[in-house]
Amino acid sequence: MSDSTIESVLSEQRLFHPSEEFSQQAHIKSTEEYQQIYNRAQQDPESFWAELAEKELDWFEKWNQVLDWQPPFAKWFVGGKLNISYNCLDRHLKTWRRNKAALIWEGEPGDSRTYTYAQLHREVCQTANVLKQLGVQKGDRVGIYMPMIPEAAIAMLACARIGAAHTVVFGGFSAEALKDRLNDASAKLVITADGGWRKDAIVPLKDQVDKALANQSVPSVENVLVVQRTEQDVHMEAGRDHWWHDLKAGVSAHCPPEPTDSEDMLFILYTSGTTGKPKGVVHTTGGYNLYTHVTLKWAFDIQDTDVYWCTADVGWITGHSYIVYGPLSNGATTVMYEGAPRPSAPGCMWDIVEKYGVTIFYTAPTAIRAFIKMGEHHPKSRDLSSLRILGTVGEPINPEAWMWYYKVIGNSRCPIVDTWWQTETGGFMVTPLPGAIPTKPGSATLPFPGILADVVDLDGNQVATNEGGYLVVKYPWPGMMRTVYGDPDRFRRTYWEHIAPREGQYLYFAGDGARKDEDGYFWVMGRVDDVINIAGHRLGTMEVESALVSHPAVAEAAVVGRPDEMKGEEIVAFVTLEGDYSAGEELEKELKQHVAGEIGAIARPGAIRFSDALPKTRSGKIMRRLLRNLASGQDVSGDTSTLEDRSVLDKLREGS
């Protein structure tokens, strides 16, 4: 956050109460009710979650132990058997929801499709049978690299149905990034599309898959299943590549759900950390199903009449938990959109709200800032009266954007649900329950029942009211990640060792800084590690640095984030060059393109600053704090006593 944002957040005092009418119909109706549930859950989290698991999910076999906690490894509902695709589909077929819209999809060129629960069930069963035909078995990993089309959700659910774990790779990632993830997961099959529509252009997904798999560089992949979406010519490798529609033709729609164990892996989702290699975050079945179900139900107050739209991509955790699993497990209608606001369609989001009568709209601060820039005449010229709840996620929301969202989109009557959570947490952790918790612009408010969140110092001591500290969670919860795929040690190091365990209590370290105010409200201030948040997307500085040094011109690179009005943060890279290369605009362009090619367009640096040397400590560590301040134009004359060579800094400053 920029200094001015931090200041306005610190002075933010406004409190917004839900209307009485809203609270009365909500699942959780008052602060007192929330407090009561919270206290009960705090006293006995296990029985709290067990009761919900019994009430909200269908189980083939009941668990024999609610929680097995061998810090930092948790198992929930041990011995229980269920299938998340059954909970998302089959169980609704026995009710009136059978013919309710499960998935409403709006395509970028204006085409659309709606699947009822019965139709979605049929598609998932057929696809699951296709996966079986291709030799996919329980426990195998399947890569999914897709545009935002219904087949992405269908593929995920089909994997879940047969007990295979999916690993969805965001369609904006490069072939190189895709290859690394498929290799790390040893994926057996890749499901993709010929292309996807994005901002009036085709993203050539199949070409990227071909590049990723070239020269047997992902030896585990046996087959590629290709959905026809954009219909341009693509290469189909004989024996390896198959059209989705060919294999699905005439396939049985009967596919009994595999009774998976609570702790069977549901998916791996890669996310950036502080080292170069992205982490494979592992989520398992039972706890994740329960957690996404209950958090969505209470925080977005899901009712049967809702038309719920989350604008994320299925390639991120928000898409997994809150486009696919959470909404479908609740029997809700979930909207999926292939496109994004763009100059040629600045009002496209509001057209969709109007067209389908969307009641709950969930997006990111970066999108809200883009809407503000495009002008309020776009939302104002559409009928948005169907909306009743607005959500935000991905980065701290500045109070100005919050107020605009509240007034212009919500017409000052829709509660704003600011949800703080992470890929690792599986679902919402700190969030308002809209009928119960009054909101303050810029605050994610209070922890979800069962979540013992706090703000502490590095010794694990709670910090004073309004003092900054580290956001931690003091007790396991069902939706938590179980491990880093193939690297349990990294799991322990990354999340459980920053803050020393005290009296046997392990604290989950989220990597975010926060403070709690006098009402116990959380104000998340952003990352405290080497992770940058660009337009709500997480990137590790090391990841970008590795991409830069893989270019022959670059000798050394240091990457920092600087505040950006639209994207929240933007990448600034400081690089030193190999002897034969000289700095210049051409090379700057080339390096930006190189990073985009290595990781994906979201990682393209906003600026590259060439330098003869980087500022280092006497022990040779790059002083990122200095670079961060330099990048954002702040004073760097302060604490530079540990700097090895002051002249490096002086030169960098001259060049800025």
Q: Which residues bind ligand PRX (CB under 6 A)?
A: 271, 317-318, 393-396, 418-423, 444, 510-512, 524, 526-527, 533, 538
Shortest distance, CB of residue 340 to ligand PRX, whole angstroms?
17
Nearer to ligand PRX, 174 or 363 (CB): 363
Contacts of 566 (CB under 8 A, 6+ apart): 366, 369, 370, 373, 535
User: Helix or strand or coil: residue 193?
Assistant: strand
Shortest distance, CB of residue 393 to ligand PRX, whole angstroms?
5
Shortest distance, CB of residue 525 to ligand PRX, whole angstroms?
8
The CB density around residue 215, as the number of other CB atoms within 10 Å, is 5
**What's the maximum distance between 2 C-alpha atoms anywhere in the chain?**
74
* Residue 68 Cα distances to 77, 129, 492, 496, angstroms: 8, 34, 17, 17
Alpha-carbon gap, residue 324 to 144, rounded angstroms: 14
Shortest distance, CB of residue 245 to ligand PRX, whole angstroms?
33
Shortest distance, CB of residue 349 to ligand PRX, whole angstroms?
19
Nearer to ligand PRX, 510 or 573 (CB): 510
Shortest distance, CB of residue 618 to ligand PRX, whole angstroms?
32
Alpha-carbon gap, residue 534 to 259, rounded angstroms: 40
Phi, psi torsion values for 481, nearest 5 degrees: -65, 150
Shortest distance, CB of residue 448 to ligand PRX, whole angstroms?
13
Nearer to ligand PRX, 203 or 514 (CB): 514
* Residue 10 Cα distances to 238, 430, 432, 496, 528, angstroms: 61, 18, 19, 29, 18
Nearer to ligand PRX, 103 or 534 (CB): 534
Alpha-carbon gap, residue 142 to 150, rounded angstroms: 17
What are the structure tokens assigned to 90, written together?
A: 């089959």
What are the structure tokens assigned to 430, written together?
A: 């700190």
Shortest distance, CB of residue 329 to ligand PRX, whole angstroms?
18
**189: enclosing H helix or E strand:** strand 189-193
305 CB-contact burial (10 Å; exposed 0-12 / middle 13-18 / buried 19+): exposed
User: Helix or strand or coil: residue 316?
Assistant: coil
Q: Give 344-377 as a DSSP string.
A: TBTTHHHHHHHHHT--EEEE-HHHHHHHHHH-TH
Residue 507 · residue 455 · CB < 8 Å: no
Nearer to ligand PRX, 230 or 272 (CB): 272
Shortest distance, CB of residue 397 to ligand PRX, whole angstroms?
7
Query: 541: closest CA among 467, 460, 603?
Result: 603
Shortest distance, CB of residue 645 to ligand PRX, whole angstroms?
34
* β-strand pairing of 469-473 with 141-145: unpaired
Nearer to ligand PRX, 273 or 331 (CB): 273
Nearer to ligand PRX, 77 or 420 (CB): 420
Nearer to ligand PRX, 104 or 429 (CB): 429
CA angle 407, 408, 409 (to 5 degrees): 100
Alpha-carbon gap, residue 338 to 580, rounded angstroms: 45
Nearer to ligand PRX, 48 or 522 (CB): 522
Nearer to ligand PRX, 152 or 531 (CB): 531
Among the residues of 300-347, which ranges form H helices? 317-319, 326-329
Nearer to ligand PRX, 59 or 362 (CB): 362
What are the structure tokens assigned to 18, written together?
A: 């839900």
Length of the chain: 656
Which position's Cβ is nearest ligand PRX?
423
Assign residue 51 a region (left: φ > 0; alpha: ψ between -120 and 50; beta: otherwise). Answer: alpha
Nearer to ligand PRX, 2 or 422 (CB): 422
**82: enclosing H helix or E strand:** strand 81-82
Residue 83 · residue 314 · CB < 8 Å: no
Nearer to ligand PRX, 286 or 391 (CB): 391
Question: From edge to edge, which strands make up the β-sheet containing 607-610?
Answer: 554-564, 568-577, 607-610
Shortest distance, CB of residue 421 to ligand PRX, whole angstroms?
5
Residue 446 · residue 462 · CB < 8 Å: no
Nearer to ligand PRX, 1 or 120 (CB): 1
Among the residues of 497-558, which ranges form H helices? 541-549
Shortest distance, CB of residue 296 to ligand PRX, whole angstroms?
13
Shortest distance, CB of residue 253 to ligand PRX, whole angstroms?
34
Nearer to ligand PRX, 23 or 423 (CB): 423
Shortest distance, CB of residue 321 to ligand PRX, whole angstroms?
8
Shortest distance, CB of residue 465 to ligand PRX, whole angstroms?
19
Q: How far apart are the first and last CA of the chain?
A: 21
Shortest distance, CB of residue 402 to ligand PRX, whole angstroms?
11
Nearer to ligand PRX, 45 or 511 (CB): 511
